[in-house]
Structure 1
């Protein structure tokens, strides 16, 4: 039975990284119905306060990890602390490492044209035994969306990684998951940019010091507006603790 905490009325699983990896594996090996794994961070949770459809999708997921230190801080404010953050990029990195020699087929969907190609090439270099059955950029229209879905279904995909940004990736999966012959779909945000070498992750010491957001801001100053969502998120969490959210 899942152990959950609600943050801004969104379910977050109380799992550490090791437990999350094992849970994804369980879902992936079970092909009885497609499973959905989401990776909410503070920006996504704040957005879900205003986007009821996104909130419903997040709460329908089979696993929701605490992707970001802001979510962990919120859990402490609410008096039900999460053990650690379970960043989506770290989660999929462990899955690549641990499933590289397993009979598991991956498919990558997302990113700008050319990005997911480089990400795939880099992963094949680092994990030669990883089964990557296909990939496609995330700029879909009605015609190529149906082609991609057909390709995924033909390739017996176990793990589908979708990185289209929030909330497009969540809504794409909500609209199409029941038509996909897969084990599990995971929303991965901008992970393909990192895997392609387009964006660098913060040094490990900055990750451990909860300063990854600052490193990302130095790389992409245009993200400053998005960073303002964190103080708003903390305000909403404090408000939700003492007052009902409107």
Structure 2
């Protein structure tokens, strides 16, 4: 079922069209609207939380309703991966295109550089955020990086201890960023943002998974031909076969089968 989801929560100030992809609401916005939302949030100091829906997260959210609710609790759920873009089209409510972190680098850092906003990079292994920050400063002259923190703070249960999280929130707030990138992996990053969104002073908060690793390597993580052919998943599989083979074979096949089965059983989403 498709909804506009305009005021499901008291803090939702960002009404927009969405498509329901197997229970996860995916935002049907383009880059121009995203930039407009971000600019308004920074100017008005209004909270805007953004996460990304890829086939792996959607598949997991089908089984884990807590993860589904975490993802649907964000103001924007951008389509990360052609599998989600394809699903939206199959369901009759296409999105403008893929909007993964890698696709938005010029917007996520170019816009702050143009506007004089401060960004903070929190997450990934020790040293990665620092290298990513060094690179984005080079690529976007004038960009103000308010600070960096690595993301290896979880306990053996995969959670951030409360005292640790409170210290991290205080350190981030002391840096006074306008845009905060959180790369802790799913679902830890979504849980952190959801639990501390009202205590974090940054108006714009985005989750970003392993994005800093890409930025620490080079600006265009995916070569142009990979993006043109829409085979980013094959490119990543070739680079990290041991870690990703199951996700991009068995699990991706399972996801696509569920999309097609849902389409057969329920038809297209009704127009908003």
Measured on the aligned residues, the alpha-carbon RMSD in Å equals: 1.9
Confirm or deny that 1:46 pairs with 2:46. no
The answer for the alignment partner of 2:20 in structure 1 is 6
The answer to whether the Cα contact below 8 Å between 2:79 and 2:100 also exists between their aligned partners in 1 is: yes
The answer for the alignment partner of 1:86 in structure 2 is 99
The answer to whether the Cα contact below 8 Å between 1:158 and 1:184 also exists between their aligned partners in 2 is: yes
The answer for the alignment partner of 1:242 in structure 2 is 264
SS of the counterpart of 1:100? helix
| Comparing 132-141 and 199-208, the one that deviates more | 199-208
SS of the counterpart of 1:112? coil
Q: Which structure 2 residues correspond to residues 99-178 of structure 1 after superposition, within 5 A?
A: 99-141=112-154, 142=161, 143-178=163-198
Moved over 6 A (4+): none
**In 2, Cα distance between equivalents of 1:216 and 1:51:** 25
The answer for the alignment partner of 2:201 in structure 1 is 181
The answer for the alignment partner of 1:28 in structure 2 is 42
The answer to whether the Cα contact below 8 Å between 1:29 and 1:158 also exists between their aligned partners in 2 is: no
Q: Which runs of 5+ in 1 are unaligned?
A: none
How many residue pairs match? The answer is 243
The answer for the alignment partner of 1:56 in structure 2 is 69
**In 2, Cα distance between equivalents of 1:29 and 1:65:** 22
**In 2, Cα distance between equivalents of 1:205 and 1:58:** 31
**In 1, Cα distance between equivalents of 2:54 and 2:211:** 14
What is the TM-score when the length of structure 2 is the normalising length?
0.83
Query: What's the offset of the Cα at 1:81?
Result: 1.7
| Comparing 98-107 and 43-52, the one that deviates more | 98-107
Q: Deviations over 1:41-73 (max 9, x none)?
A: 111111111111111121111111111110111
What is the TM-score when the length of structure 1 is the normalising length?
0.91
**In 2, Cα distance between equivalents of 1:237 and 1:29:** 39
The answer to whether the Cα contact below 8 Å between 2:102 and 2:220 also exists between their aligned partners in 1 is: no
Query: What's the offset of the Cα at 1:124?
Result: 1.6
